[in-house]
Structure 1
Amino acid sequence: MMFKPTIHLCLVHNTATANVTPALDPDFKPQEVILLHSPDKEYSASCLEAVLKPSGVKVSRWPIQDARDVERIRDSILELMIERETQDIALNASGGTRPMSIAAYEIFKEFNKPIFYVHPETDYVSWINQRHLPSFNVADKIKLPAFLQAHGAEVGSLGERSGVPKNLRSLTQELIKHVEALAKPLAALNWLAQQAEKDLTTPFLTERQRHWPELNALIQRFASEDLLTVQDNALHFQDESARFFVNGGWLEEYTYSLVYGLRGDMPKIQDVGRSIEIIRDTTGKSVKNELDVAFLHNNHLYLIECKTKRFSKQKLADIGSQDFDTPGADALYKLDTLKWMLGGVRTKVMLVSYHPLSSWDRQRAHDLKIEICTAQQLVRLENTLKRWIDD
């Protein structure tokens, strides 16, 4: 039977995952979690509490004044241990600043209380001062809303848990297979669909757009699936879901479908979502972001941004067949920001783009450790996902 301490002392700083996942493991779940935190991490502690309490874990706070003053931290933890000496308490040494970790380790060792650590890469719990206790893999039980909330991001809304509709899979495969030929007209159609966001009707097609054979063929292909109609020299979308699909949502749904389908071969994929609106409020002002595709694998977060747009807004107003070089810098920087907001080094991010990236942007992605799958590589997206997850 697994050793199961009644109380976990968790050190709150920038590591939310390793504090939450052991406390949510059914075989290791404590009755109480004590959060040791400094004043500047009050919000982080509140986020952890919001995740732990609904699962039936009692949450207590043990505030300290300075996360870098090792002497005062040691005195504070000593006071806690004197108060809790007779109780079954263990230290989760995975989080906190270095002074917090050192002070807590010294006091727990002095009181001969167990200390454990969650390895960030393997998600294994190892006992530091109780070597006779076996290591174990933390259960993959946490779901996306709880994981995101633990990292300070409230889920405002979740997209439908469905991939590409069965009747549109053939169209999606055509778009993937003929990416080189369809790249320019699809970018134009994306822009038109974007302009129809308010009333599901596009602006009037320009003369150049009306006489662009590839664009017109693509419009008719989408029309054949009852996604849109051409009336009075403008495009009319059946409903918002149809407009979203034409506006590039098809690539998001396709990517979601692939990840969802990998669960059979990769049982450690514990939750998958798309079109997730998250809200962060750390300074009294709410900031919204959208995650195109997100999933958890072995308690690690994976984020995928899906892009079918290529041209700047100004150049698309009267689009022709010119080749514009629009860098993907914004998408890459957005992914990098989300990565550090939602788990840091434990979080992996990918950009899936219908269009190729410039050499400059490819180098930027490499520097930021962002996986990319673009243009003709999309036919191998499933294999890319498998390799990326296993890496």
Structure 2
Amino acid sequence: MHLLAFVDHVVSDIITPALDPRFDIDRVTLLCHRSHLDLAFDILGVCHKLHLNAAVETLPADSQPLALRQRLQELVQGGVCFNISAASPVQAALAYDLAREYRLPLMAIEHDNDRLIWLLGGESSRLHSGTEIAEGLSLEAYFALYGSRILTIHYRLERRSPRHEQLARDLAEHAALRPKSLSLLNRLCNDLDEEQFSQHPLSSGEHVLYDWLLASGMVEFRDSGHMRCLDARARFFLAGGWLEVWLLSQVAELAQILPVSDAAVGVKISHHNVENEYDVAILCNNHLYLIECKTAAPTSFQQRGVGLENLFKLNSVAGLGGLHAKAMLASLYVPTESEVGRAESQRITLLAGPQLRQAREYLREWLMS
């Protein structure tokens, strides 16, 4: 089947039907106005990397409906199917009119839950309305749809380290009881002297953490209690990366029951030469979920909460390039009332303080939302 997919804006639903073998789509044509050619060619690049036979065709503007209808009519030769998931209202209306006239199938994908909607012609298909589209996107492909390029990934779902996950689990349990200890560890790893030793010693009261660090094989101590991480990987992990690794391990367990197609820690991307890094990125049900992890203590002794600046930053990067990502802030500390209100207004989910003990359940509910 030949899929004619409109590109008035970018959503993953434009090409996900072509990645579901049940549709038996052998060709994709991306339809867009000249003003959206850059979007269409980003998507075309993804199609080619996924070995899809794809091309781009330009359309007249919505302000020229007769010319637009005529151009669409020229394209509906043979066995074609319209996908109006990312069509403008005018494009969708004209496509529907032509599909009804020529008895062609016309579909849309419900963006919130990634389910198929047949508007015309679905009765002849093996898939009925309400069918969930199969997962087929990687993080690289998803970001590429939005004109972004992944530069590096620190730690990936399919290449996890059981040893690091066990160490992360230990620190998660410690953090639930004594979050300030893990904030102290974060500071020690980032406040270094010329010899890469911490500028401050580990507190004499941190016997449990001291014994754990020695047993981990990641650090060495001077007699004075000053600590040095043995390599860059250890420093990343102990400076807060453990929370990211632990959350990814929870996602890995949820992947047994949820449609998680990809997930990673430390995803650094470039968007129009502007670089950003996401602590945890998850693709579930062909949608992107981003988690910002914070193990540092509030910036001043009097300050409480998770930090409004973290919420503002997360809100900004989650929408970078029109990503449509859902966002979560994971913190060792409990948010203030004003921060809870700000998070709700920005549609940011909070996983904070004691909630970390039930992280898997919170993540499951979030990924299903």
User: Counterparts of 1:200 and 1:106 in 2: how far apart (Å)?
Assistant: 72
Structure-2 residue corresponding to 1:292: 279
Question: Does the alignment pair 1:249 with 2:241?
Answer: yes
Which AA in structure 2 matches 1:298? N
Q: Structure 1 residue 168: deviation in Å?
A: 6.7
Structure-2 residue corresponding to 1:58: 53
Go from structure 1 to structure 2 and tell me whether the alpha carbon gap of 1:365 and 1:253 turns closer, same or farther (over 3 Å shift).
same
Deviations 1:187-227 (A, max 9, x none): 2321231234x97714532xxx56x4345763453233222
Structure-2 residue corresponding to 1:318: none
2:361 counterpart SS class: helix
User: Counterparts of 1:383 and 1:37 in 2: how far apart (Å)?
Assistant: 41
Structure-1 residue corresponding to 2:114: 123
Which AA in structure 2 matches 1:382? R
Question: Does the alignment pair 1:81 with 2:59?
Answer: no
2:293 counterpart SS class: strand
Question: Does the alignment pair 1:302 with 2:289?
Answer: yes
Question: Does the alignment pair 1:166 with 2:163?
Answer: yes
Q: Structure 1 residue 52: deviation in Å?
A: 0.7
Structure-2 residue corresponding to 1:192: 188
Which AA in structure 2 matches 1:309? A
Structure-2 residue corresponding to 1:275: 266
Deviations 1:214-244 (A, max 9, x none): 4576345323322222238543210001101
User: Counterparts of 2:40 and 2:276 in 1: how far apart (Å)?
Assistant: 22
2:120 counterpart SS class: coil
Which AA in structure 2 matches 1:81? Q
Question: Does the alignment pair 1:324 with 2:303?
Answer: yes
Which AA in structure 1 matches 2:31? L
Q: Structure 1 residue 378: deviation in Å?
A: 0.9
Question: Does the alignment pair 1:28 with 2:23?
Answer: yes
Q: Structure 1 residue 77: deviation in Å?
A: 4.2
Which AA in structure 1 matches 2:229? F
User: Counterparts of 2:69 and 2:144 in 1: how far apart (Å)?
Assistant: 27
User: Counterparts of 1:368 and 1:167 in 2: how far apart (Å)?
Assistant: 33
**Contact kept? 2:12, 2:142, Cα under 8 Å:** yes
Go from structure 1 to structure 2 and tell me whether the alpha carbon gap of 1:116 and 1:180 turns closer, same or farther (over 3 Å shift).
closer
RMSD (Å), alpha carbons:
2.7
TM-score after normalising by structure 2:
0.87
Structure-1 residue corresponding to 2:135: 140
Question: Does the alignment pair 1:103 with 2:94?
Answer: yes
Structure-2 residue corresponding to 1:319: none
Say which is worse superposed, 156-165 or 336-345, in terms of deviation: 336-345
Go from structure 1 to structure 2 and tell me whether the alpha carbon gap of 1:64 and 1:296 turns closer, same or farther (over 3 Å shift).
same
Go from structure 1 to structure 2 and tell me whether the alpha carbon gap of 1:25 and 1:172 turns closer, same or farther (over 3 Å shift).
closer
Q: Structure 1 residue 250: deviation in Å?
A: 0.5
Question: Identity across aligned pairs (percent)?
Answer: 25
Deviations 1:62-88 (A, max 9, x none): 22454x42xx25413422422x34322
Deviations 1:138-169 (A, max 9, x none): 21122221122112221111222355643772
Question: Does the alignment pair 1:390 with 2:365?
Answer: no
User: Counterparts of 1:167 and 1:256 in 2: how far apart (Å)?
Assistant: 11
Which AA in structure 2 matches 1:338? V
Which AA in structure 2 matches 1:332? L
**Contact kept? 1:229, 1:235, Cα under 8 Å:** yes
Which AA in structure 2 matches 1:350? M
User: Counterparts of 2:210 and 2:322 in 1: how far apart (Å)?
Assistant: 41
**Contact kept? 2:248, 2:264, Cα under 8 Å:** yes
**Contact kept? 1:36, 1:63, Cα under 8 Å:** yes
User: Counterparts of 1:155 and 1:167 in 2: how far apart (Å)?
Assistant: 24
User: Counterparts of 1:168 and 1:9 in 2: how far apart (Å)?
Assistant: 45
**Contact kept? 1:91, 1:115, Cα under 8 Å:** yes
Q: Structure 1 residue 175: deviation in Å?
A: 3.4
**Contact kept? 1:200, 1:240, Cα under 8 Å:** no
User: Counterparts of 1:88 and 1:200 in 2: how far apart (Å)?
Assistant: 69
Structure-1 residue corresponding to 2:357: 379
Q: Structure 1 residue 258: deviation in Å?
A: 0.8
Say which is worse superposed, 158-167 or 185-194, in terms of deviation: 158-167
Deviations 1:14-62 (A, max 9, x none): 2321101011112225332222223332221121111111233232222
Go from structure 1 to structure 2 and tell me whether the alpha carbon gap of 1:167 and 1:389 turns closer, same or farther (over 3 Å shift).
closer
Aligned 1:194-273 pairs, distance under 5 A: 194-196=190-192, 201-202=196-197, 204-205=199-200, 212-214=203-205, 218-231=209-222, 234-266=226-258, 268-273=259-264
User: Counterparts of 1:189 and 1:253 in 2: how far apart (Å)?
Assistant: 16
Question: Does the alignment pair 1:336 with 2:315?
Answer: yes
Unaligned runs of 5+ in 1: 316-321
1:158 counterpart SS class: strand
**Contact kept? 2:105, 2:122, Cα under 8 Å:** no
Which AA in structure 1 matches 2:247? T
TM-score after normalising by structure 1:
0.83
2:155 counterpart SS class: coil
**Contact kept? 1:164, 1:257, Cα under 8 Å:** no
Aligned counterpart for 1:45 among listed residues 40, 45, 62: 40
Say which is worse superposed, 146-155 or 107-116, in terms of deviation: 107-116
Go from structure 1 to structure 2 and tell me whether the alpha carbon gap of 1:17 and 1:73 turns closer, same or farther (over 3 Å shift).
farther
Q: Structure 1 residue 97: deviation in Å?
A: 2.1
Unaligned runs of 5+ in 2: none
**Contact kept? 2:289, 2:327, Cα under 8 Å:** yes
Deviations 1:169-193 (A, max 9, x none): 2x54453334365323422321231
